[in-house]
Amino acid sequence: MNKYLNKTNISLNPWWLTGYTDGEGNFTIKTVSASSTKIGYTVRLIYQITVHPCDIDMLYKIQAYFDNVGKVEIYKDYVSYRITRLSDILRVVIPILPITPFTIY
């Protein structure tokens, strides 16, 4: 654990989450095959935060803050928290954005 940051005592709030997403996360628009559509594809929006495995506890805290939607996925060199259901993104992620804008340049 980073000696300058006690991750267990962080109080999550919209401002903190926006900043963390700004630095460690992204929104992705992805096309996926879907036999149920006329053209055979559909578009999916994904909210994702990816960090080093030592920060996995932070992703679980964020997941809990977002009503336990989405899932934490563990890979060899990184871990990701992803929300792929549009209704969940609209319900738990999007409402914090108007009050806490991103600062991407």
Q: pLDDT tens-digit profile of 22-64?
A: 899 999 999 999 999 899 999 999 999 999 999 999 999 999 9
Q: Domain extents for the chain?
A: 23-96
- The answer to pTM > 0.95 is no
Q: Is 24 helix (H, G, I), strand (E, B) or coil?
A: helix
pLDDT of residue 87: 96
Class of domain 23-96: alpha beta
Give the integer Cα–Cα distance in Å for 7 and 12: 10
